[in-house]
Amino acid sequence: MEKRKFQTPSIGLLLVGVALGLLLALQWRSAPTARLTDTSYARDRTALTIARLETEQDALKAQVAELRQQLDERQRRGQSTDMLQGLAEELARQKMLAGLVALHGPGVEVVLNDSNRQVVPSVVNPELYLVHDYDLRDVVNLLWAAGTEAMSVNGERIVASTSIYCVGATIMVNDTRLSPPYVIHAIGPSEQQEALLKNPKFLAELRNRVSAYGLTFSVAQVADIEVPAYRGGFGALYASVSVSP
């Protein structure tokens, strides 16, 4: 019987195989680090972009407030006749109703804050320990029903066009990012405001989370509250002036 001959692999092929194996191993080890670095870089870029946009937003709001003040001064200078005086008074009233004037008076201060409990059971939804946009909306709507005349949340004036919504874990008011605690200043009949907010018939879901998960919800009457003027714009997408024939 003829014996088969087995050829021994050449040294060159063996070295190529070892080198290829080492290259694949190094690539496999370095991939997670690269992804982690990319993720950290993207997170840092996002944080810097948010900070830059918020700085620009604050600057634009300050510019709007300054321009409105200049407009008020020029309007006051032009009040030379009784007709202009009447128009100026009506304009001032409309500005107050629109929230473009800072106001002060008696009212209530409401504070909403996330729970300060450090340990959250794994079987419990962690969102139950946080204040949400709907909590703010419920309190704001109840304050309007109590006769509130002017209101702000963390310095953001609540006007007819104000939106309160959530983006991830962040609450936006007037397209401005707010952080807890959320302090609501409301000018109005303080006794009526406090009575309605403390009435157990209202805000039942919020009261349950305050009791069960440690959220903060406090109401206090204040003799003199200051509510700042609205600093945003009034953008209209579909409205137009109607001219009668």
DSSP string, 64-83: HHHHHHHHHHHHHHT--SHH
pLDDT grade for 237, boundaries at 50, 70 and 90: confident
Residue 111 has pLDDT above 80, yes or no: yes
- What percent of the chain lies above the pLDDT cut of 70? 75
What's the one-letter identity of residue 228? P
Residue 158 has pLDDT above 60, yes or no: yes
User: For the chain, what is the radius of gyration of the CA atoms?
Assistant: 31
- pLDDT for residue 6: 44
Residue 76 has pLDDT above 70, yes or no: no
What's the one-letter identity of residue 225? I
pTM for the full predicted model: 0.67
Give the model confidence (pLDDT) of 38-67 as tens digits: 667 667 666 777 777 777 777 777 777 777
In angstroms, what CA-CA distances link 211 with 7, 88, 147, 226? Answer: 81, 51, 28, 31
- pLDDT for residue 1: 46
More confident residue, 174 or 243: 174
pLDDT grade for 242, boundaries at 50, 70 and 90: confident
pLDDT grade for 36, boundaries at 50, 70 and 90: very low
Tell me the pLDDT of the chain averaged across its residues: 81
User: What's the helix, strand, coil split of the chain in %, to 5?
Assistant: 50, 20, 35
Give the model confidence (pLDDT) of 164-195 as tens digits: 999 887 899 998 999 999 999 999 999 999 99
- pLDDT for residue 34: 47
Q: Is 135 in contact with 143 (CB distance < 8 Å)?
A: no
Residue 222 has pLDDT above 90, yes or no: yes
pLDDT grade for 13, boundaries at 50, 70 and 90: low
In the sheet that holds 103-113, the strands lie side by side as 156-157, 150-153, 182-187, 103-113, 216-227
Q: Which residues have CB under 8 Å from 192's CB, separation 6+?
A: 146, 147
- pLDDT for residue 15: 61
More confident residue, 70 or 229: 229
Question: What residues are paired with 219 via a beta bridge?
Answer: 110
- What percent of the chain lies above the pLDDT cut of 90? 45
Mean pLDDT of 83-108: 84
Q: Is 204 in contact with 138 (CB distance < 8 Å)?
A: no
Residue 214 has pLDDT above 80, yes or no: yes
Alpha-carbon torsion, ordered 68, 107, 166, 145, to 10 deg: -100
Residues in the chain: 245
Calculate helix-pair angle for 133-145, 190-197, nearest 10 degrees. 130
- pLDDT for residue 157: 96
Report the distance separating Cα 236 and Cα 160, nearest Å. Answer: 12
- pLDDT for residue 42: 66
Residue 23 has pLDDT above 80, yes or no: no
And the tokens for 157? 């004036």
- pLDDT for residue 123: 87
